[in-house]
Amino acid sequence: MQSDEQPQVEQTAQPAIACTDLLKRFGDFTAVNSISLEVKSGEIYGFLGPNGAGKTTTIKMLTGLLGADSGTATICGYDIVKQPLDARRMFGYIPDNPYLYEKLTGVEFLNFMADLYNMPRKDRAQSVADLLALFALESKAHTLIQGYSRGMRQKIALAGALIHHPRVIFLDEPTVGLDPQSALAMQEILRELGRRGTTIFVSTHILEIAEKMCHRVAIVNRGEIIAQGTVAELQAWSANQPDADSHAGPASLEHIFLQLTGGDEYADRIRFLT
């Protein structure tokens, strides 16, 4: 197993992902309220929040799948609205429930994705082989996707997003529905991609994963970023709160999340049931 310690992020002048004052309303409901952030090249960035906090809406605006009411977003310097094709060449995106063509084999699906990105055929064979090896799918390369398990479907979807060697990957709940072994394998793959310099923007409800894997995290609630930083920085904030226990040691990311999003109220209620 790989160490949980994270490498240093390569410092570059231009952020891999940046947005300023992104706003999205649905009628009278504000789903995302003027979110601004920057993610460095090669950084694994966790985007955390309770259900309905605005995480998926933010990701869809960053990737151009949903238009913002106001604000701007860039991927590797390309404006997602003004330069959509250039921006989209820079990233891959995996939603929480990716659509896969079940009547294709793994190899056929990866070649189909390569066609979408206009990859020359002379360059793709090795890429397909490398990705199948990375995700331990060689034995299923010529099996129809309809016969894949949930874990294998997640892996082939991520392999398809990586076929054109993107500089940025967006993942919305990449471990949802996976058994513990498959979830651990997915974590190791994401760590390896980070070590290779890929920028990873990941939304997850599994805070233990974010705590071990991410260079920085942002906690979102009611459409706004309410905290952002390294886990160590958030632990320092928690330790300075009036109700902090000085003998308890560093707070877990789960505890900090509950502090910030009001989850402690639910924990108090549960005590009455025990």
Q: What is the model's pLDDT at position 246?
A: 61
Q: Which residues contact 111 (CB under 8 A, 6 or more apart)?
A: 124, 128
| Res 205: pLDDT | 81
pLDDT tens string, the chain, 274 residues long: the values are 344 444 444 545 689 999 999 999 999 999 999 999 999 999 999 999 998 899 999 999 999 999 999 999 999 999 999 999 999 999 999 988 888 999 999 999 999 999 999 888 887 889 999 999 988 899 999 999 999 988 889 889 999 999 999 999 999 988 777 778 777 888 888 888 888 899 999 998 888 888 888 999 999 999 999 999 999 999 898 888 877 666 567 888 988 888 888 765 544 444 444 4
- For position 92, what pLDDT does the model report? 94
Q: For helices 121-134 and 106-116, what crossing angle results, to 10°? A: 130
The answer to whether residues 46 and 257 touch, using CB atoms and an 8 Å cutoff, is: no
Tracing tokens 């929480």 back to the chain, one arrives at 96
DSSP three-state, residue 91: strand
Question: For domain 17-231, which architecture applies?
Answer: 3-Layer(aba) Sandwich (3.40)
Place of tokens 């979807």: 157
> From CA 68, how far away is CA 78, in angstroms rounded?
16
Please tell me the predicted confidence (pLDDT) of residue 77.
Answer: 95
For position 96, what pLDDT does the model report? 82
pLDDT, one tens digit per residue, over 19-45 is: 999 999 999 999 999 999 999 999 999
pLDDT at residue number 145: 96
pLDDT digits over 75-93, tens only? 999 999 999 999 999 999 9
CA 242 and chain centroid, separation:
33
Q: What is the pLDDT, as a whole number, of residue 204?
A: 85
3-state secondary structure of 185: helix
Dihedral angle of Cα 162, 163, 164, 170, to the nearest 10 degrees: -20
Per-residue pLDDT at 23? 97
Do 46 and 204 meet the contact criterion of CB atoms below 8 Å apart?
Answer: yes
Q: Three-state SS for 268?
A: helix
Measure the CA–CA gap between 205 and 161, rounded to whole angstroms: 22
Element (H, E) at 261: helix 253-261
What is the pLDDT at residue 7? 44
